């Protein structure tokens, strides 16, 4: 046992006071006249013995009361046998993701309680401590060290953000030698989705402070999708809303509303048991605009942070397709002529419009032997700009050395297979062909191919039963697609099969990005979101939601643009206009991360199991935080036991005086 304030022991000299009082009685004796002292003398000896014993017991009680009280004020503690001592560097993570707006059992939002505990943590450290405050929208930086007062002021300004963060991201950011011996406090609701890794062995002292809420139901939108992607927008759309209840309570008759451009266009009700899902379809007959702002509203309480789900529809432009070929014109005409979705041009090898072929969304080159050096240069230029090219490679014989050299990098070689090889049924379930087939029957009629070439695709989409590729992406980094069979009846029936039309249409739509997603998740912003917008070199792209403007990092590729938005951009759920000039706008929608709608939490026991060797607070309150930090600094406080002992002896003294 040791003491925080040993100088208090000087007050032990005060123990002499009750002894002096005991030895010298300052009460004056009164003289009473008695007629006879005969009876008093009989009990004198017995009374003196009893009174002396009482006085000694009272004296002992007073001395023990004063002594224990002095020990209490001296701050007794049992030194910690742990090697985790309080550091002069503190990293404090306050989870301010949307789920922290849920109220605890006391009716106080978890974020407010988390900030209060953060204040308590900071107040328990010395003024010369370096503090680093981290939140879901404020990454750790070793250069953002704060003093004690500045850290307290920072906490007071923390607000809820639509961003969410994973534990792995936090741990990786804390892997810095400058805070290798820091105390790291994680104050969070510790949703199951937050935990995506375990702590490795480290000298850092992790203290987990879990914030808990009671059983909740949360009906939210999982996804929104169209019945017929891209097609039929002129006549309205049919939109499907997938709902789920990830809470621990069933919900009945939850109102669901769909709004488009500020007007309500659909309403329904949903009842979902725990972990149930339901899809509701809404037929939207209203006229569509150039840019369409959609929103699904789920009137679910008390968890309301994810009640709104945003989606967008941009005007559909024609997909520019240029075919360069000397044969098979009727095959391509059957696909594209008269279709209002495509701006279609067919050129013979001797009559190519290079201006059109440069600007089209998709350039299809049918055959290898007639490719000129100029056309090959155009192909390479388009690929470098990120514009799509599809080469239908029928035969290497007769092609120029430049073409052979160009194709060699993709592993092309000549083969001679005279047997009909069927395309593998597994190819029909390739993600490239999503939304094409509702189901794939066992007796599916599949096309056949007599291979004349083999190659090494970066991404194989159609393969034969013998494993040879037929259609796929040739390069991971460039949008070059290869169909390694000619469109002649002697080599294949693919061009006459029902698979050929969706294959060509999908490639065309991907090339123009006309299949832009209805919505994005906020966590996708840092990895890049692709929008249907062509950006000229030097253009400054901006995103605006009406209240703020964000300038993202831009990577242009053909008619599509990828936008990279770091966490510092503080993307909010809602609609954003994307523009480089006022006359050319696109619309995208951001929503909270899907996992944020799952309120399930890890229990204290689970946290201790996952994070063995760390400190996990059983009760997230001020007292437990104080006790944890004090134990790190000194050990286990035992002053309260001395206080109880002092009060006990005071009670004994009172009983002795009044009852004996």
pLDDT band at residue 295 using 50, 70 and 90 as cut-offs: very high
- For 319-512, CATH number? 3.40.50.880
Average pLDDT of the chain is: 84
Residue, of 284 and 305, whose pLDDT is higher: 305
Q: What class does CATH assign to 89-213+601-634?
A: alpha beta
Alpha helix (H) residue ranges in 124-199:
148-156, 167-173
- For 576, residues 6+ apart whose C-beta sits below 8 A from its C-beta are 543, 544, 545, 550, 587, 588, 589, 590
Q: What is the pLDDT of residues 120-134, one digit of tens each?
A: 999 989 889 999 999
Is the pLDDT assigned to residue 74 strictly greater than 70? yes
> For residue 81, what pLDDT is reported?
56
Q: Which of 254-268, 296-310, 513-527 has the lowest mean pLDDT?
A: 513-527
pLDDT band at residue 231 using 50, 70 and 90 as cut-offs: very low
Is the pLDDT assigned to residue 462 strictly greater than 90? yes
Q: What is the pLDDT of residues 36-61, one digit of tens each?
A: 655 555 555 555 566 677 777 888 88
Placement of tokens 């004296």 in the chain: 59
- For 488, residues 6+ apart whose C-beta sits below 8 A from its C-beta are 327, 328, 394
Residue span(s) of the chain under CATH 3.40.50.410 come to 89-213+601-634
CA-to-CA distance for 424 and 447, rounded, in angstroms?
9
Residue span(s) of the chain under CATH 3.40.50.880 come to 319-512
User: Is 526 in contact with 556 (CB distance < 8 Å)?
Assistant: no
For the chain, the C-alpha Rg in angstroms (whole number) is 39
Helices (H) then strands (E): counts for the chain:
13, 34
Residue 318 DSSP symbol: P
> What is the percent of the chain with per-residue pLDDT over 70, rounded to a whole number?
89
pLDDT band at residue 530 using 50, 70 and 90 as cut-offs: confident
Looking at the DSSP assignment, which residues form a beta bridge with residue 320? 343
Burial of 650 (0-12, 13-18, 19+ CB in 10 A): middle
Q: Which of 47-56, 393-402, 420-429, 462-471 has the lowest mean pLDDT?
A: 47-56
User: Is 428 in contact with 444 (CB distance < 8 Å)?
Assistant: yes
> For residue 47, what pLDDT is reported?
57
Helix (H, G, I), strand (E, B) or coil at 85: coil
> For residue 28, what pLDDT is reported?
55
Mean pLDDT of 296-315: 89
User: Is 306 in contact with 218 (CB distance < 8 Å)?
Assistant: yes
Mean pLDDT of 536-552: 85
> For residue 411, what pLDDT is reported?
83
Q: What class does CATH assign to 520-591?
A: mainly beta
Mean pLDDT of 205-228: 86
Residue 386 DSSP symbol: T
Residue, of 403 and 77, whose pLDDT is higher: 403
What's domain 219-310's architecture?
Sandwich (2.60)
pLDDT band at residue 529 using 50, 70 and 90 as cut-offs: confident
Placement of tokens 């009082």 in the chain: 21
Mean pLDDT of 194-212: 81
- For 601, residues 6+ apart whose C-beta sits below 8 A from its C-beta are 189, 190, 191, 192, 210, 212, 213
CA-to-CA distance for 329 and 338, rounded, in angstroms?
14
Q: Which of 198-207, 349-358, 476-485, 538-547 has the lowest mean pLDDT?
A: 198-207
Residue span(s) of the chain under CATH 2.60.40.10 come to 219-310
């Amino acid at each position: 046992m040791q003491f925080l304030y040993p100088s208090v022991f000087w007050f032990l000299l005060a123990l002499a006071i009750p002894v002096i009082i005991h030895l010298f009685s300052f009460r004056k004796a009164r003289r009473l006249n008695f007629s006879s002292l005969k009876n008093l003398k009989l009990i004198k000896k017995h009374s003196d013995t009893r009174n002396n014993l009482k006085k000694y017991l009272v004296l002992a009680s007073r001395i023990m009361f004063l002594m224990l009280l002095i020990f209490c004020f001296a701050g007794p503690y049992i030194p910690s046998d742990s090697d985790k001592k309080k550091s002069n560097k503190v990293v404090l993570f306050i989870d301010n993701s949307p789920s922290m707006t849920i109220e605890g059992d006391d009716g106080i939002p978890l974020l407010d309680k988390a900030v209060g505990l953060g204040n308590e943590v900071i107040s328990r450290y010395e003024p010369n401590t370096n503090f680093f405050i981290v939140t879901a929208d404020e990454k750790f930086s070793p250069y953002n060290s704060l003093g004690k007062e500045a850290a307290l002021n920072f906490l007071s300004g923390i607000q809820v953000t639509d961003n969410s963060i994973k534990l792995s991201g936090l741990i990786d950011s804390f892997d810095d030698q400058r805070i290798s011996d820091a105390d790291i406090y994680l104050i969070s609701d510790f949703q199951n989705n937050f935990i995506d890794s375990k702590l490795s062995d480290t000298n850092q002292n992790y203290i987990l402070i879990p914030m808990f809420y009671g059983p909740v139901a949360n009906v939210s939108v999982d996804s929104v999708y169209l019945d017929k992607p891209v097609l039929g927008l002129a006549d309205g759309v049919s939109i499907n809303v997938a709902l789920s209840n990830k809470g621990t309570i069933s919900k009945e008759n939850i109102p669901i509303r769909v709004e488009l451009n500020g007007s309500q266009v659909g309403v329904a009700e949903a009842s979902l048991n725990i972990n149930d899902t339901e899809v509701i379809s809404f037929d939207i007959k209203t006229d569509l605009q150039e840019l369409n702002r959609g929103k699904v509203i789920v009137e679910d309480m008390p968890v309301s942070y994810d009640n709104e789900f945003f989606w967008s529809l941009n005007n559909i432009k024609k997909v520019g397709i240029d075919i360069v070929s000397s044969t098979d014109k009727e095959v391509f005409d059957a696909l594209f002529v008269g279709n209002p979705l495509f701006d279609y041009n067919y050129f013979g090898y001797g009559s190519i419009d290079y201006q059109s072929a440069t600007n089209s969304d998709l350039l299809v080159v049918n055959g290898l032997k007639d490719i000129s050096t100029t056309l090959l240069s155009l192909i390479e230029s388009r690929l470098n700009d990120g514009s799509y090219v599809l080469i239908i490679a029928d035969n290497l014989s007769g092609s120029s050395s430049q073409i052979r050299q160009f194709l060699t990098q993709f592993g092309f070689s000549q083969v001679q297979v005279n047997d009909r090889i069927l395309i593998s049924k597994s190819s029909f379930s390739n993600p490239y062909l999503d939304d094409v087939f509702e189901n794939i029957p066992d007796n599916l009629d599949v096309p056949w191919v007599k291979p004349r070439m083999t190659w090494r695709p970066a991404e194989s989409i159609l393969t034969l039963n013998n494993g040879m590729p037929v259609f796929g992406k040739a390069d991971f980094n460039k949008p070059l697609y290869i169909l390694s069979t000619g469109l002649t009846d002697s080599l294949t029936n693919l061009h006459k099969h029902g698979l050929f039309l969706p294959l060509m249409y999908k490639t065309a739509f991907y090339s123009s990005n006309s299949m832009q997603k209805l919505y994005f998740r906020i966590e996708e912003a840092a990895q890049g979101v692709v929008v249907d917008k062509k950006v000229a070199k030097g253009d400054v792209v901006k995103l605006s939601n009406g209240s703020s403007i964000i300038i993202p990092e831009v990577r242009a590729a053909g008619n599509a643009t990828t936008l990279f938005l770091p966490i510092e951009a503080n993307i909010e759920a809602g609609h954003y206009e994307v523009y480089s000039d006022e006359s050319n706008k696109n619309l995208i929608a951001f929503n909270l991360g899907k996992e944020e709608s799952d309120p399930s939490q890890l229990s204290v026991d689970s946290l201790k199991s996952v994070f063995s060797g760390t400190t996990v607070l059983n009760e997230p309150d001020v007292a437990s935080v104080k006790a944890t930090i004090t134990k790190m600094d000194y050990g286990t406080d035992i002053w309260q036991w001395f206080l109880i002992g002092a009060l006990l002896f005071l009670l004994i003294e009172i009983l002795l005086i009044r009852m004996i």
